[in-house]
Amino acid sequence: MNRSLEDYLKNIYSIQPISGRVTTSLLADKLNISAAAVSEMVSKLSGKGYIKNIPYKGFELTKKGEAIAINLVRKHRIWEVFLLKHLNYPWDKVHSEAENLEHSSSDELILRLDKFLDYPKFDPHGHPIPDKEGNISPDKTIPAADLKSGDTAVIKQVSDENPEVLIYLSKAGLKLNDEIKVIEKINFDNSLSIHFKSGNIFLSEKLAKNIFVRKK
């Protein structure tokens, strides 16, 4: 297992829940490489038993592949907690730094770091942290983009892949566990006008798709 293979598995894992079986082009897009390169690596990963591939149809992780992906997610999220809480890293920068650290830390290191952090349950963006056996609490959130006018909800997660989203939310003063109420959903562009304790703000559809909430 090297960094490249690990990145494939991790990204397959992150696409899977959204689109069921993963396709070559979807993964190529996510990894920003050619479909041809993905196609080759998919055969390789399949040969090693990390994924189950049906040529021309798509592929999905095996238990073995999923275990590796979840372990990486665990390492990533534990590092994020450390960076934010102990090194005072800003919200929007922990993701890219953890992206490197996750591939360079042994299971023992993560076990010790987890203990040092007192076994956090969520990362700074609200994502659950898998335990060392790979158990992860199921995601019950929905994108804020799915809310309707008048809905009340609590912000539970924020996508960490686009620092701009995090920067915008910080500036607006929106935090995890804040309660929001949809004043109006504009059907023309699917944008939302929302109210929360520090005032009103506007969320574009794209932004609202990166914020995950639990309805009240």
- Binding-site member from 32, 106, 135, 187 for a second copy (CB under 8 A): 106
Is 19 a binding residue for DNA by CB under 7 A? The answer is no
Binds 103, which of a second copy, DNA, none (CB < 5 to 8 A, cut-off by type)?
A: a second copy
Is 105 a binding residue for a second copy by CB under 8 A? The answer is yes
Helix, strand, coil in percent for the chain, rounding step 5: 45, 20, 35
As beta bridge partners, residue 144 has none
- Each as own residue / partner, the long-range contacts of residues 177-183 (CB below 8 Å, 24 or more positions apart, any chain) are 178/154, 179/152, 179/153, 179/154, 179/216, 180/144, 180/152, 180/153, 180/154, 180/155, 180/213, 181/150, 181/151, 181/152, 181/153, 182/147, 182/148, 182/149, 182/150, 182/151, 182/152, 182/153, 183/149
Pick the closer one to DNA by CB: 14 or 193.
14
Mark 134-166 as b/e (b = at least 16 C-beta within 10 Å).
Answer: eeeeeeebeebbebeeebebebbbbbbeeeebb
Binds 112, which of a second copy, DNA, none (CB < 5 to 8 A, cut-off by type)?
A: a second copy
Is 37 a binding residue for DNA by CB under 7 A? The answer is yes
As beta bridge partners, residue 186 has 191
Binds 56, which of a second copy, DNA, none (CB < 5 to 8 A, cut-off by type)?
A: DNA
Is 4 a binding residue for DNA by CB under 7 A? The answer is yes
- Binding-site member from 4, 19, 25, 104 for a second copy (CB under 8 A): 104
User: Interacting stretch for DNA, rule CB under 7 A, among 10-18, 38-46, 71-79, 206-214?
Assistant: 38-46
Binds 183, which of DNA, a second copy, none (CB < 5 to 8 A, cut-off by type)?
A: none
Distance CA 28, CA 22 (A): 10
Residues 111-130 that bind a second copy (CB under 8 A): 112-113, 115-116
Pick the closer one to DNA by CB: 103 or 181.
103
What are the residues binding a second copy (CB under 8 A)? 83, 86-89, 97, 100-101, 103-106, 108-109, 112-113, 115-116
List contacts with DNA (CB under 7 A): 2, 4-5, 23-26, 31-44, 53, 55-58
